[in-house]
Structures are given as structure tokens and as C-alpha cells.
Amino acid sequence: MSRILTGDTMIFSYKKTAAVVIAFTLTLTIILILIYYRNPREVENKYILKEYNGTVALFKNDEVISVYDEIVLSAFPSADRQRFAEGIAINSPEEAEYIIEDFDG
């Protein structure tokens, strides 16, 4: 028995395919983010963006390299505050600037 796809069935099929592609893309993105923002305690000699006196500072080997006073963490959603409380491991001060720009708008 062959299946004939009508216009409505084809649209449903495309929507279903699009939903699967979007779900896969989101899942892959989350996995990559989790890998990228690994636990900072596992990283030696890397930079860490972390909460510092209600704002954010860039650390290297537990030494403050730069403080971003324009960031007021109390105004952020709790999930973002938690990320900065745990620390975000990064590779360079330039990457810190990029992340700060994302949060600062």
C-alpha cells in the first residue's frame, strides 16, 4: 500500500522534521556549552570569571586580574548569579571581555 502525502500531511511532516532538527541542535548546543564552561577547579593556569564583592572579576591562579564594576550581579537572574558564583573557566582576557559584553548588553 503506498502513501500519498497531501498538502496538510506534507506540512505536518516538515514541521515534525523541523522540530527534530531544532531539538537536536539545542541538545548539541547545551552539551557544547557544558564542555566549554567546564568546572574551573579542574583548570590550572586558566582565567576564571567569578563573583567578586557583588560584581565580577577576572582571576588567574586565584589572583584578581581585572574587576568589572559595571556588572551588578544582584540585578541578574539567579541562574546567572550561580554561574558566576561557581566561576566560568575561560582561555584569555579577550574572552572575558566578550562574555562581559554579552551580560552587560
pLDDT of res. 99: 87
Average pLDDT taken over every residue of the chain: 79
Is the pLDDT at 91 greater than 80? The verdict is yes
DSSP helix/strand/coil, 89: strand
Average pLDDT over residues 34-52: 71
Domain-wise residue ranges, the chain:
1-36, 40-104
Q: Which grid coordinates belong to 10?
A: 506534507
Across the range 40-51, mean pLDDT stands at 73
Separation of alpha carbons 26 and 84, rounded Å: 23
Cell representation of residue 67: 574587576
